[in-house]
Structure 1
Amino acid sequence: MSAVEHLQELHGLPAFDFPSGDLSGLPAPESVAWRISVDPYGDDDRPFGEAWESFTGAVDLSRVRALIIGQWGEAYDNDSRLVVDLLVAAADRLTALEAVFLADITPEEQEISWIEQSDVTPVLAAYPGLVELGVRGGTGLRFPAVRHTRLRKLTFEAGGLPGEVVRGVGACELPALESLEMWLGVSEYSGDATVADLAPLLASGRFPALRHLGLRNSEIQDEIAAAVAGAPVVAQLESLDLSMGVLTDAGAEALLGGQPLTHLRRLDLHHNYFSDEMSARLSDALEGAGVELDVSERGDEWQDGDGDVQRYTAVAE
Structure 2
Amino acid sequence: MTMDQLYLPILLILVVAVIARIPTAIRVPTARPAWFATLIAVPAFMTRGPIIPIQTLDAWMGGENIIFLVQSWLVVFAFWGLAEAAGTDITSSERPKLRLWIPLLSCLAFTIPFFLIPNREGTELFFIDAHVDDLAAIVCGVLYMAAVAGICARLLIRLHGRDAPAHWVFRIGAALVIAGCVLWSTAIILDHALSLGRTPIVWMYIGFDILFYPGVVALALGLVAFAAQRAIRQLILRRRVAALQDILTSRSFTIDEDDRPLPFVAYDLMVQIEDLRILGAIRPTVEEQRTLDKVARWVERTFPQVHDITTS
Task: Using structure 2 for the length normalisation, give the TM-score.
Answer: 0.27
Identify, as 1 or 2, the structure richer in helix: 2
* Higher Cα Rg, which structure: 2
